[in-house]
Amino acid sequence: MSDYAGAASAIQAAVVAEWTEIPTTYPNAAGFEPPKDVDGVPLPWGLLEVLPTFSEVLGTGTQKTYAYYGVIVYHVFVPLGTGLAEANRMAVAVGEIFRTRKLYDNGDGCYVRTVSPSIIGSSGNDDNGNWFRVTMTVDFTYWHLI
């Protein structure tokens, strides 16, 4: 049976399979530590979030269509002081994984469709002052036919 949880997992699976440039962690993942090189210098890493926004019923009758809307958010973290260009490059590159793509197609009318990614902002603020963040977002719709 297809469901929103499976759709969100498919989005995460796309990052696991197609984005290997930097380590990625996920909300509520245990044991992640930001990477360091052999000399202990911090290295870039990413955080993926799949955030639902709202849903609606689009059709009634013998078959119902539900649309679940949301946003894929990928935060690229680079060591503070390493510049904006590399963080932007990585945020753009991970966004390309999702550009106008169809994911999680079960063949029965349940699938995820994405649109074009955007870079929405950057910040040097974090809990310990060591990281600079650039964030990529892309809207998605999970279509569910029952």
User: For residues 109 and 56, which has the higher predicted lDDT (pLDDT)?
Assistant: 56
Structural domains in the chain?
4-145 (3.30.2000.20)
Is the pLDDT at 127 greater than 70, yes or no? no
Closest of 10, 1, 22 to residue 140, by C-alpha: 10
Of 98, 112, 127, the closest CA to residue 66 belongs to: 112
Which among 5, 54, 45 is positioned nearest to 26, based on CA atoms?
Answer: 45
pTM of the model: 0.90
